[in-house]
Structure 1
Amino acid sequence: MNTIFKHAICIVALAAASVLTPAPAAAQDAVSLDSEVQVAKDVDGVTTYVAPEQVFPGDRLKFVTRYDNSGAEPAEDFVITNPLPGAVSLAEDGDFLVSVDGGESFGRLSGRTVAAEDGTQRPAELSDVTHVRWIIPSIAPGESGEAIFFAQVK
Protein backbone atom coordinates (compact mmCIF):
# COMPACT_ATOMS: atom_id res chain seq x y z
CA MET A 1 0.00 0.00 0.00
CA ASN A 2 1.53 3.33 -0.95
CA THR A 3 2.21 6.08 1.60
CA ILE A 4 -0.28 8.56 0.14
CA PHE A 5 -3.06 5.98 0.31
CA LYS A 6 -2.14 5.12 3.93
CA HIS A 7 -2.26 8.82 4.89
CA ALA A 8 -5.64 9.25 3.21
CA ILE A 9 -7.07 6.25 5.08
CA CYS A 10 -5.79 7.57 8.43
CA ILE A 11 -7.22 11.02 7.80
CA VAL A 12 -10.64 9.73 6.76
CA ALA A 13 -10.67 7.44 9.79
CA LEU A 14 -9.90 10.36 12.08
CA ALA A 15 -12.78 12.37 10.70
CA ALA A 16 -15.09 9.64 12.00
CA ALA A 17 -13.18 9.15 15.25
CA SER A 18 -14.13 12.22 17.27
CA VAL A 19 -14.90 10.91 20.70
CA LEU A 20 -17.52 12.40 22.95
CA THR A 21 -16.85 11.87 26.64
CA PRO A 22 -20.00 13.22 28.25
CA ALA A 23 -20.64 13.86 31.89
CA PRO A 24 -23.67 11.84 33.00
CA ALA A 25 -26.73 13.94 32.12
CA ALA A 26 -29.65 13.61 29.71
CA ALA A 27 -28.71 16.91 28.04
CA GLN A 28 -25.41 15.36 26.89
CA ASP A 29 -27.34 12.90 24.70
CA ALA A 30 -28.99 15.76 22.80
CA VAL A 31 -25.65 17.07 21.53
CA SER A 32 -24.68 15.73 18.12
CA LEU A 33 -21.20 15.77 16.63
CA ASP A 34 -20.09 15.94 13.02
CA SER A 35 -16.44 15.81 11.97
CA GLU A 36 -14.58 16.69 8.81
CA VAL A 37 -11.00 16.99 7.61
CA GLN A 38 -9.92 19.60 5.06
CA VAL A 39 -6.60 20.17 3.32
CA ALA A 40 -5.06 23.59 2.72
CA LYS A 41 -4.76 24.71 -0.89
CA ASP A 42 -2.94 27.89 -1.86
CA VAL A 43 -4.26 29.65 -4.96
CA ASP A 44 -2.73 33.00 -5.90
CA GLY A 45 -1.48 33.52 -2.36
CA VAL A 46 -4.86 32.81 -0.75
CA THR A 47 -5.24 29.73 1.47
CA THR A 48 -8.53 27.87 1.35
CA TYR A 49 -9.48 24.53 2.88
CA VAL A 50 -11.11 21.84 0.75
CA ALA A 51 -12.10 18.19 1.07
CA PRO A 52 -8.95 16.12 0.55
CA GLU A 53 -8.72 13.93 -2.52
CA GLN A 54 -5.08 13.12 -1.85
CA VAL A 55 -2.70 14.24 0.86
CA PHE A 56 1.06 14.39 0.77
CA PRO A 57 3.75 14.75 3.44
CA GLY A 58 3.88 18.39 4.49
CA ASP A 59 0.21 19.12 3.69
CA ARG A 60 -1.58 21.25 6.30
CA LEU A 61 -4.89 19.83 7.49
CA LYS A 62 -7.80 21.42 9.29
CA PHE A 63 -9.81 19.11 11.58
CA VAL A 64 -13.28 20.40 12.42
CA THR A 65 -15.72 18.89 14.92
CA ARG A 66 -19.11 20.60 14.87
CA TYR A 67 -21.47 20.26 17.82
CA ASP A 68 -25.17 21.06 18.08
CA ASN A 69 -27.45 20.87 21.11
CA SER A 70 -30.91 19.93 19.83
CA GLY A 71 -32.23 19.29 23.34
CA ALA A 72 -34.27 21.39 25.72
CA GLU A 73 -31.60 21.57 28.44
CA PRO A 74 -28.06 22.98 28.44
CA ALA A 75 -25.26 20.43 28.15
CA GLU A 76 -22.78 21.20 30.92
CA ASP A 77 -19.03 20.44 30.87
CA PHE A 78 -19.26 18.84 27.45
CA VAL A 79 -16.02 17.11 26.41
CA ILE A 80 -14.80 16.53 22.86
CA THR A 81 -11.63 14.47 22.42
CA ASN A 82 -9.92 13.94 19.07
CA PRO A 83 -7.08 11.43 18.65
CA LEU A 84 -4.34 12.31 16.17
CA PRO A 85 -3.53 9.48 13.79
CA GLY A 86 0.12 8.51 13.50
CA ALA A 87 0.29 9.99 10.00
CA VAL A 88 -0.05 13.57 11.27
CA SER A 89 1.52 15.92 13.82
CA LEU A 90 -0.20 18.80 15.55
CA ALA A 91 0.73 21.94 13.59
CA GLU A 92 0.08 24.57 16.25
CA ASP A 93 -1.00 24.90 19.85
CA GLY A 94 -4.49 26.20 20.40
CA ASP A 95 -7.26 26.83 22.88
CA PHE A 96 -7.53 23.18 23.85
CA LEU A 97 -5.88 20.63 26.11
CA VAL A 98 -3.48 18.02 24.79
CA SER A 99 -2.31 14.55 25.75
CA VAL A 100 1.18 13.23 25.08
CA ASP A 101 0.53 9.86 26.72
CA GLY A 102 -2.09 8.28 24.50
CA GLY A 103 -5.06 10.07 26.06
CA GLU A 104 -4.36 9.12 29.68
CA SER A 105 -3.90 12.70 30.93
CA PHE A 106 -4.53 16.17 29.51
CA GLY A 107 -3.21 19.68 30.07
CA ARG A 108 -1.74 22.67 28.25
CA LEU A 109 1.16 21.79 25.93
CA SER A 110 3.45 24.15 27.84
CA GLY A 111 2.98 22.02 30.97
CA ARG A 112 3.49 18.58 29.38
CA THR A 113 6.74 16.62 29.43
CA VAL A 114 7.91 13.44 27.74
CA ALA A 115 10.86 11.10 28.18
CA ALA A 116 13.94 12.06 26.20
CA GLU A 117 16.15 9.40 24.60
CA ASP A 118 18.52 9.55 27.58
CA GLY A 119 15.66 8.87 30.02
CA THR A 120 15.38 12.44 31.33
CA GLN A 121 12.22 14.50 30.93
CA ARG A 122 11.99 17.21 28.28
CA PRO A 123 9.23 19.70 27.43
CA ALA A 124 6.64 18.19 25.09
CA GLU A 125 6.56 19.43 21.51
CA LEU A 126 3.77 19.57 18.95
CA SER A 127 4.99 16.30 17.44
CA ASP A 128 4.49 14.53 20.80
CA VAL A 129 0.75 15.23 20.99
CA THR A 130 -1.49 12.17 20.66
CA HIS A 131 -4.92 13.73 21.44
CA VAL A 132 -6.58 17.13 21.68
CA ARG A 133 -9.51 17.90 23.99
CA TRP A 134 -11.98 20.71 24.52
CA ILE A 135 -14.17 21.09 27.59
CA ILE A 136 -17.10 23.30 26.71
CA PRO A 137 -18.56 24.74 29.94
CA SER A 138 -22.13 24.92 28.63
CA ILE A 139 -23.93 24.39 25.33
CA ALA A 140 -27.35 26.06 25.48
CA PRO A 141 -30.39 24.50 23.80
CA GLY A 142 -30.21 25.27 20.08
CA GLU A 143 -26.57 26.35 20.33
CA SER A 144 -23.93 24.99 17.98
CA GLY A 145 -20.25 25.57 17.46
CA GLU A 146 -16.98 24.13 16.24
CA ALA A 147 -13.82 22.73 17.76
CA ILE A 148 -10.88 23.12 15.34
CA PHE A 149 -7.25 22.10 15.28
CA PHE A 150 -4.57 22.07 12.59
CA ALA A 151 -2.15 19.27 11.79
CA GLN A 152 0.50 18.48 9.22
CA VAL A 153 0.94 15.22 7.31
CA LYS A 154 4.24 13.58 8.27
Structure 2
Amino acid sequence: MNIPETYDYLIRARRDLWTALKAVPDEVLSRPVLDGPRFHCVKDLILHIPAVEDSWIHEDLLADSPIWESVAVMQGAEDGPFYAAFHLDALLDYWCQVEASTQDYLNRLTPTELAREVVVNGSKGEERFTVDGLLWHVLIHEMRHTAQIAVLLRQAGIKPPFLDLLNYLPVTQK
Protein backbone atom coordinates (compact mmCIF):
# COMPACT_ATOMS: atom_id res chain seq x y z
CA MET A 1 0.00 0.00 0.00
CA ASN A 2 1.05 3.56 -0.55
CA ILE A 3 0.08 6.79 1.21
CA PRO A 4 -2.98 7.68 -0.95
CA GLU A 5 -4.30 4.09 -0.71
CA THR A 6 -3.80 4.09 3.06
CA TYR A 7 -5.53 7.44 3.35
CA ASP A 8 -8.44 6.05 1.32
CA TYR A 9 -8.69 3.22 3.88
CA LEU A 10 -8.71 5.78 6.70
CA ILE A 11 -11.50 7.73 5.01
CA ARG A 12 -13.67 4.63 4.67
CA ALA A 13 -12.92 3.58 8.25
CA ARG A 14 -13.70 7.12 9.46
CA ARG A 15 -17.15 6.98 7.92
CA ASP A 16 -17.88 3.81 9.88
CA LEU A 17 -16.42 5.33 13.06
CA TRP A 18 -18.37 8.57 12.60
CA THR A 19 -21.62 6.65 12.04
CA ALA A 20 -20.98 4.73 15.25
CA LEU A 21 -20.07 7.89 17.18
CA LYS A 22 -23.28 9.64 16.10
CA ALA A 23 -25.24 6.82 17.78
CA VAL A 24 -23.34 7.18 21.07
CA PRO A 25 -24.98 9.33 23.76
CA ASP A 26 -23.23 12.69 24.13
CA GLU A 27 -22.70 11.96 27.83
CA VAL A 28 -20.48 9.00 26.91
CA LEU A 29 -18.42 11.02 24.42
CA SER A 30 -18.03 13.89 26.90
CA ARG A 31 -17.37 11.86 30.05
CA PRO A 32 -13.88 12.38 31.49
CA VAL A 33 -12.38 8.89 31.38
CA LEU A 34 -8.71 9.67 30.76
CA ASP A 35 -6.27 11.17 33.22
CA GLY A 36 -3.61 13.48 31.95
CA PRO A 37 -3.05 17.03 30.85
CA ARG A 38 -4.32 16.80 27.25
CA PHE A 39 -7.11 14.29 26.74
CA HIS A 40 -9.95 13.56 29.12
CA CYS A 41 -12.80 12.35 26.94
CA VAL A 42 -13.53 10.78 23.57
CA LYS A 43 -14.33 14.20 22.08
CA ASP A 44 -10.82 15.40 22.94
CA LEU A 45 -9.44 12.55 20.81
CA ILE A 46 -11.98 13.22 18.04
CA LEU A 47 -10.59 16.75 17.75
CA HIS A 48 -6.95 15.77 18.26
CA ILE A 49 -6.79 13.44 15.24
CA PRO A 50 -7.68 16.01 12.55
CA ALA A 51 -5.88 18.83 14.39
CA VAL A 52 -2.61 16.89 14.17
CA GLU A 53 -3.23 16.15 10.47
CA ASP A 54 -4.09 19.80 9.86
CA SER A 55 -0.99 21.02 11.66
CA TRP A 56 1.51 18.67 10.01
CA ILE A 57 0.18 19.15 6.52
CA HIS A 58 -0.59 22.86 6.57
CA GLU A 59 1.96 24.28 8.96
CA ASP A 60 4.89 21.93 8.40
CA LEU A 61 4.57 20.50 4.89
CA LEU A 62 2.86 23.39 3.09
CA ALA A 63 4.07 26.27 5.32
CA ASP A 64 0.48 27.52 5.27
CA SER A 65 -2.21 28.50 7.79
CA PRO A 66 -4.02 25.56 9.37
CA ILE A 67 -7.68 25.04 8.58
CA TRP A 68 -8.73 25.52 12.21
CA GLU A 69 -7.90 29.22 11.88
CA SER A 70 -10.82 29.63 9.45
CA VAL A 71 -13.34 27.49 11.35
CA ALA A 72 -15.44 29.66 13.67
CA VAL A 73 -16.09 26.98 16.27
CA MET A 74 -12.33 26.30 16.52
CA GLN A 75 -11.32 29.90 17.26
CA GLY A 76 -9.28 29.95 20.45
CA ALA A 77 -9.36 26.17 20.74
CA GLU A 78 -6.31 24.36 22.02
CA ASP A 79 -5.09 20.77 21.91
CA GLY A 80 -6.22 19.64 25.30
CA PRO A 81 -9.16 18.65 27.46
CA PHE A 82 -11.54 21.31 26.22
CA TYR A 83 -14.01 19.61 23.87
CA ALA A 84 -16.56 17.87 26.08
CA ALA A 85 -19.00 20.76 25.54
CA PHE A 86 -18.52 20.85 21.75
CA HIS A 87 -21.25 19.33 19.62
CA LEU A 88 -20.01 16.18 17.86
CA ASP A 89 -21.16 17.50 14.48
CA ALA A 90 -18.91 20.57 14.85
CA LEU A 91 -15.89 18.35 15.48
CA LEU A 92 -16.73 16.09 12.54
CA ASP A 93 -17.36 19.08 10.25
CA TYR A 94 -13.85 20.32 11.02
CA TRP A 95 -12.49 16.81 10.38
CA CYS A 96 -14.25 16.77 6.99
CA GLN A 97 -12.59 20.05 6.03
CA VAL A 98 -9.18 18.71 7.01
CA GLU A 99 -9.86 15.52 5.07
CA ALA A 100 -10.81 17.40 1.89
CA SER A 101 -7.66 19.50 2.11
CA THR A 102 -5.48 16.45 2.73
CA GLN A 103 -7.03 14.63 -0.23
CA ASP A 104 -6.27 17.61 -2.44
CA TYR A 105 -2.65 17.60 -1.26
CA LEU A 106 -2.26 13.83 -1.67
CA ASN A 107 -3.68 14.02 -5.21
CA ARG A 108 -0.77 16.32 -6.11
CA LEU A 109 1.96 14.18 -4.51
CA THR A 110 4.98 13.46 -6.66
CA PRO A 111 8.10 11.40 -5.94
CA THR A 112 10.01 14.68 -5.62
CA GLU A 113 7.54 15.99 -3.03
CA LEU A 114 7.67 12.73 -1.06
CA ALA A 115 11.47 12.93 -0.95
CA ARG A 116 11.55 16.61 0.06
CA GLU A 117 13.17 17.32 3.43
CA VAL A 118 11.23 19.24 6.02
CA VAL A 119 12.88 20.91 9.00
CA VAL A 120 10.87 20.59 12.20
CA ASN A 121 11.63 22.40 15.43
CA GLY A 122 10.47 19.98 18.08
CA SER A 123 11.27 18.91 21.59
CA LYS A 124 14.64 17.55 20.41
CA GLY A 125 15.52 20.77 18.60
CA GLU A 126 15.80 21.03 14.84
CA GLU A 127 15.12 17.74 13.09
CA ARG A 128 14.86 16.82 9.41
CA PHE A 129 12.31 14.42 8.00
CA THR A 130 11.08 13.55 4.52
CA VAL A 131 7.53 14.39 3.52
CA ASP A 132 7.02 10.65 3.04
CA GLY A 133 8.02 9.93 6.64
CA LEU A 134 5.86 12.70 8.07
CA LEU A 135 2.82 11.58 6.07
CA TRP A 136 3.24 8.03 7.38
CA HIS A 137 3.45 9.52 10.88
CA VAL A 138 0.12 11.31 10.35
CA LEU A 139 -1.58 8.16 9.03
CA ILE A 140 -0.33 5.91 11.81
CA HIS A 141 -1.14 8.56 14.41
CA GLU A 142 -4.79 8.38 13.36
CA MET A 143 -4.82 4.59 13.46
CA ARG A 144 -3.49 4.58 17.00
CA HIS A 145 -6.00 7.11 18.29
CA THR A 146 -8.99 5.53 16.54
CA ALA A 147 -8.01 2.28 18.25
CA GLN A 148 -7.97 4.20 21.53
CA ILE A 149 -11.46 5.54 20.81
CA ALA A 150 -12.65 1.99 20.05
CA VAL A 151 -11.33 0.80 23.42
CA LEU A 152 -13.02 3.68 25.24
CA LEU A 153 -16.32 2.87 23.51
CA ARG A 154 -15.97 -0.78 24.47
CA GLN A 155 -15.26 0.21 28.09
CA ALA A 156 -18.49 2.24 28.02
CA GLY A 157 -20.38 -0.88 26.93
CA ILE A 158 -20.69 0.19 23.29
CA LYS A 159 -19.57 -2.10 20.48
CA PRO A 160 -17.14 -0.17 18.26
CA PRO A 161 -17.15 -0.63 14.49
CA PHE A 162 -14.81 -3.17 12.90
CA LEU A 163 -12.11 -0.85 11.55
CA ASP A 164 -9.40 -3.38 10.69
CA LEU A 165 -7.83 -2.94 7.27
CA LEU A 166 -8.99 -6.45 6.39
CA ASN A 167 -12.57 -5.17 6.44
CA TYR A 168 -11.75 -2.69 3.64
CA LEU A 169 -9.42 -4.68 1.39
CA PRO A 170 -10.79 -5.86 -1.95
CA VAL A 171 -11.33 -9.58 -2.10
CA THR A 172 -9.33 -11.16 -4.91
CA GLN A 173 -10.78 -13.85 -7.14
CA LYS A 174 -9.01 -17.10 -8.08
- TM-score, normalised via structure 1 length: 0.28
Higher strand share: 1
Higher helix share: 2
- TM-score, normalised via structure 2 length: 0.26
